Amino acid sequence: MTLLRDLVLSRGPAPSFAAMGLFWGAFAALVPEIKPKAGLSDGGFGLAMLVAACGAVMAMWLAPLAEARMGRHALPVATLAMAAAFLLPGLTTVGVAFALSMTLASMASGTLDVVMNARVAAVEAGARRSLMNLNHAVFSVGYAFAAITAGLMREAQIPPALVLACMSALTVGLVWIGLGGWVPDPEAEDSTSGAPPLSWALLLPGGAIILIAFLVEQATEGWSALHLERNMGAGAAQGALGPALLGITMAIGRLSGQAMAQRFTEASVISCAATLSAAGAITAALADGLALAYSGFAVLGLGVSVVAPMAFAWIGRLVPARHRTHAIARISVVGYAGFFIGPPMMGFLSEGFGLQASFSAVSLLLLVVPLALVPLLARRTMA
């Protein structure tokens, strides 16, 4: 019943999390068809996605301005804008057009990312309940559903453009559901007109926590299968279980984190989760068999799943209402750097020392969260 109550409280922003999961899950499943259709090599595809990621960062930085212009309609408008933008990648047949279309889609997605996290933080403040983990779990469920559905549609020879159009149609329905939910207007709820401006001394530790969480997620998604196949002799299907376990356990972890967040502080949940994830990473790194490696990746996913959502919730609770969107935007930009840092870090360490060293480094990075970043942010909170 408590989970149902939290879902009702999240009825406004949760559909936007589901919509974002739909598009990124479907896109991930369609990449093997979209990439050759656009005439891109592996390197060209990577460059196009890097350009798109830069667009997302720019949009995140400017998202507070966009939200201020859209006002109380920011959430549905941003969600529909993302749905419209994601129609384009499936239509492209030229590499440059694909890069431009993915940049637009990523910019729309980045704007929505900031707006929806800020609105969840606002609902949390009004309801006095932690809801961030639940909404991020909704994203994970939407991602998994879309990836499976898109894979089946692709198997049935349905073109990518039509698959993405179906996701857009589902998004229109989700937006309609979200319109019936309560999402506070930051300007209306704010009573702290004399609040001090945002301090990077507060935002940087929070952003660094998110950066490490995103880096770990990306590293496991991109390198776990290779680690299993290269170092443990796993076949293709066995190797694919690495990232699959991450996705499954992250969804479970976020739903479990929703209950934990009602009983414990953000600092304690983040510290315990990061420590658990570090234990999983070192287990996977040093495992001498598939079963132990799978266990390590499962534990890693359970732990890391709640780190970023809890950091968003913590910062959202600490800042005045009128600064909340700016704060979420700034820590999102810092956190997004994890997607840029992760690939070269893992690649460099793997090239020089092997993937065991890469995942060992991931474990050490995770320990920075409870040993340094959480205490630092807690001290800033009390200052």
Residue 111 sits in the same domain as residue 212: no
**SS3 call for 155:** helix
For residue 193, the model assigns a pLDDT of: 47
pLDDT in tens, 24-78: 888 877 877 888 888 888 678 778 888 888 888 889 888 888 888 887 888 999 9
Residue 208 sits in the same domain as residue 184: no
Q: Give the total number of structural domains in the chain.
A: 2
Residue 287 sits in the same domain as residue 142: no
- DSSP assignment, residue 289? S
Higher confidence at residue 200 or residue 75?
75
Which segments of the chain does DSSP mark as H helices, in order? 2-9, 14-37, 42-70, 74-85, 95-127, 132-155, 160-179, 186-189, 200-232, 236-260, 266-286, 290-304, 307-318, 324-353, 355-368, 374-382
Residue 104 sits in the same domain as residue 147: yes
Residue 127 sits in the same domain as residue 208: no
Residue 275 sits in the same domain as residue 180: no
194 found inside a domain: no
For residue 191, the model assigns a pLDDT of: 47
232 found inside a domain: yes
User: What average pLDDT does this structure show over 324-344?
Assistant: 83
pLDDT in tens, 105-129: 999 999 999 999 888 888 887 878 8
Residue 102 sits in the same domain as residue 218: no
The encoded tokens of residue 283 equal 């287990």
Inform me whether the pLDDT recorded for 240 exceeds 70. no
User: What average pLDDT does this structure show over 172-192?
Assistant: 71
Residue 153 sits in the same domain as residue 249: no
User: What average pLDDT does this structure show over 298-317?
Assistant: 92
> Distance between CA 131 and CA 185 in Å, rounded?
17
- Read off the pLDDT band of 197 (50, 70, 90): low
- Read off the pLDDT band of 194 (50, 70, 90): very low
Residue 156 sits in the same domain as residue 277: no
Residue 208 sits in the same domain as residue 185: no
Q: What is the mean pLDDT of the chain?
A: 85
Residue 131 sits in the same domain as residue 172: yes
Inform me whether the pLDDT recorded for 222 exceeds 80. no
To the nearest 10°, report the CA torsion of 265, 266, 267, 270. 130
Residue 93 sits in the same domain as residue 141: yes
176 close to 75: Cβ distance less than 8 angstroms: no
- Read off the pLDDT band of 192 (50, 70, 90): very low
Which of 171-180, 197-206, 310-319 shows the lowest per-residue confidence on average (mean pLDDT)? 197-206
148 found inside a domain: yes
Domain interval for residue 211:
200-382
For residue 237, the model assigns a pLDDT of: 67
CATH number at residue 231: 1.20.1250.20
